Each structure stands twice: as structure tokens, then as C-alpha cells.
Amino acid sequence: MALTNDEFARQYGPWGLVVGASEGVGEAFAHTLAERGVNVVLLSRRKPNLDALAATLRERHGVETRVLAVDLSESDAVSRIVDGTVGLEVGIVLYGAGADSSPAPFLSRPVESALAMVQRNCVTSMAVAHHFGAAMVERGRGGIILVTSGSGLRGCSNMVAYSASKAFDLVMGESLWAEFNPEGVDVLSLVLSRTDTPALRRLMLAMGQIDSLDTPVPGATSPEETVARALENLDKGPTYLVGEKLAQSEQYFSTMTRNEGVRVMAEATRSLNTAAE
């Protein structure tokens, strides 16, 4: 049975931390928390976007907000997050940053770009889960949602660092669930398929696959629907695949060995690259 807003705020409030709040799923999650009466810490690199969102949330829902402009790939990211939330009882965390806006072959970029992805998606996310998870376990309530990707279910060409980092988040979330759930803390690895975010629209526009940034992505799940499914399944854990197509795809791959599945993905990527040439 769905929680009322008051019940939700008691279980997952009084503050929520949304990592990657400037747009897409993070922005939609921030709106949903505020609608349910939870104060929100908004975190991303883009402070102007966060300031605008914070003002909207305060005006519409009367909640308190706090803005943290942090680059999650920097070595001081965790200390800045900890310092920026001192004195706040954070009852829910969404870690939704770390998209790969321009897939490319592994060797076509300096290794530093891959290492920055690992820092952002793995090192910082683990430290955030450790810091806030400790307080949640002590209180015996709370929730952590790690946004991962279908790309992390098996190896993919042109997405080496991204796929690997999302696989890390997926298994980390499942492992945290095994430890935290008996202590009253909900953990969910939220596996996204194609989601109609501004980042995806920008990528598709650059690739000539849509006509403008106002064009919806065909067959994609909206950020709002993604957030709704996440909260519906937060107390069920440990893993939820968003979208019927992703669930069907995973069922298809379940009939193969892991090696066969990776080969199928590699061939599909080669076919797409050939068609684009």
C-alpha cells in the first residue's frame, strides 16, 4: 500500500539529497520529494540550474532547500557534500549523476576521462552511501536509490567506463540492500533503459536522430514515470528494471550464456555503426 505524504516524510525525511538534480530524473525526483513534504538538498555542477529549481520548490511546496554545486569527479567532492549537509537529517538519497553524453571507443579518449567517470560513478557514490547510510542504519529508517543503467548489465562497445561503472553501482546497491534492509533501511538499484532526459535529447540531436531539443525521444520513459516506478519499488528492492522493453530484453538475454550476450551486443553496435556511415 502506498504511503501517504506524511508517512513518506516520516520514513524518508525530513531531508532528501538529490545527486544530479539539475535536470532529468534528478530534477523530477526533487519535485516529487518536495510534493511529499521532504526538504531537499540539490546537488550538481550547475549552480544556476539548482538555484532556479530551489526557488521553484520553495514557492510551490513550501519546503526548505539547500544548493550544493559540486563536481563529483573531484577528489574533494565527498568532503564538500559532508560539509554541506552538516546538521541535516538526510533520510533519503538519490545518486543519479554520471551519464555518458558522448559514447566513443575506449582508446579514442585520454584515459583521464574514463578515470573521472569511475571517480564520479563509483568512488564518490560509495563514499556517499557509506556516510549517509551509517546515519540511516543508526536511526533504523531511510532509503538509498542508486541510478544505474541497462548498459551495466553486460559489456557494451563504446561505453567501457560508463558500462563498468554502472555495473559497479548495480552490484553495490544489491549488496547494500543485503546489509541495510534488515536494519530498516531501503536500498534500490534502479536500472534505467532509454529515458527522455535533456542529456539524451542533446546527444540524439547531435547525432541527427531528432530534429530539435523539443522533440520527445521515441519509445523512451519519462523522468516522471521513472521516479514513480522507483518510489513504488523502493521498499521491495534490491533491483528494479524500468520499462517493459528493458525487462523483455533481460528476459531475452537470460536464455544465453554471458559470453553469448556480450557477442550479441557487440554485433548490434557494429551494425549500428555501419548503418550510420
Handedness of CA 89, 92, 98, 99 (dihedral sign): negative
Catalytic residue, candidates 162, 236, 245, 252: 162
Catalytic residue from among 12, 95, 166, 240: 166
- Annotation marks residue 12 as catalytic: no
Reply yes or no on whether 245 is catalytic. Answer: no
Residue 6, C-alpha cell as written in the block: 506524511
Name the maximum alpha-carbon separation found in the chain: 56
Three-class SS string for 2-54? CCCHHHHHHHHCCEEEEECCCCHHHHHHHHHHHHCCCEEEEEECCHHHHHHHH
Could you tell me whether strands 90-95 and 65-69 are parallel, antiparallel, or unpaired per DSSP bridges? unpaired
The two counts, helices (H) then strands (E), for the chain are: 11, 7
Residues carrying an active site annotation:
162, 166
